[in-house]
Structure 1
Amino acid sequence: MPAARGVLGRVRRARARAVEDLDAAIERDPAASGGRVEMALTSPGLQAIWAHRVAHGMWQRGGRWRLPARLAAQTARAVTGVEIHPGATIGRRFFIDHGMGVVIGETAEVGDDVMLYHGVTLGGRSLQKVKRHPTVGDGVTIGAGARVLGPVWIGPAAQIGANAVVVRDVPPAAVATGIPATVRFPGKDELDPYADPAVYI
């Protein structure tokens, strides 16, 4: 029964990924006190990423699968308030805290261990059918209401402050805040404790 073993293997991998997501979310959310079951039932960010993984799998198959993928994404949007295009590529242990109002475009690429807060947009600035959405490295945190626009690169371990508007690349381990965003390097620059609190995300 090779086919049955293949299906069983996929189910086991999906379950392992879901548990990994749950544990990552619990680690990052200080309000998560009820364990995995409570988190699975009450976190729209997790529900959105799980729906996206299904939609993305259909999208990659192409052809007649594209419409069901879009419908799955739209259903997830209606239920969770999170809009992720099924073409977007998202890594492991991704977490959206609160979730409402997050938008992730078709050609966005998101690495592992990335955290987004509500109202974040990974959007485009072109109507051409090219790479037009951000690439976000591993371990990035993007604060509430931030807009990261165009095919910019956000380096690993960078932090984007709340309500920042990012239209240029952000180096690894940098902090970007403001409109348009400016870049600081904690540990290299002396941070003013009376500066914009968004610096500290």
Structure 2
Amino acid sequence: MDMHIWYRETGQTASGLRLAEAWEDAEHPDGVYLDEVPGDAALVWKSTETDAALLHVTIPEERAPGVPHLWFTAADEPHAAPRACTLSAYTDGPFVSGSIVSPLAFATLGIRGDDELGTVRWLRDGLVVDLYVAPDLRRQGVATCLLLAAGAWQQANRWPGFIHADRPRTRLGRAFLTRLRHPGRVARDAGPRFDEEE
């Protein structure tokens, strides 16, 4: 059964970021904002305001069972052509799991950039162009959490569209995308082609 992700807006932060919930079911159109009560829909993620970070994203445990403690730093690229954003995942530091912090807040921590567990980079229309997870952490839910947190950041900034994928470039990417149940989030012509190099 094809599942769709739709949204409910719940408010905004003091800085103007949209707060929202993402829900999954087969009954609502993909990517729309609705005011109705979710009913039998399953929660995908929920964003809330926090004083300690730009945004907090709650991801239900069943979405990524056993995932390690993760927080994120968001590096927007407003001058890139096309404009893009990169979200990086970390486990050490003072932030609660699900926090998204600014590059400035990250810079004050003394954590090395290469201590990241994974990254996702996407264009502001939602197209994911790069997804990486450290080899020893693959198949532990890190990629799932990166994509879901990226989806929350996309919606928080009111950028058009939603997180989606084109043709996967690696075997890992293809394997990950084939497990998803959201056909509207993967290009119809994604096909089986991928680069042989991991």
Q: Fold conserved (TM > 0.5)?
A: no
Q: Which has the higher strand share?
A: 2
| TM-score, length of structure 2 as denominator length | 0.30
Structure of greater relative contact order (alpha carbons < 8 Å, 6+ residues apart) = 2
Larger radius of gyration: 1
Q: Which has the higher helix share?
A: 1
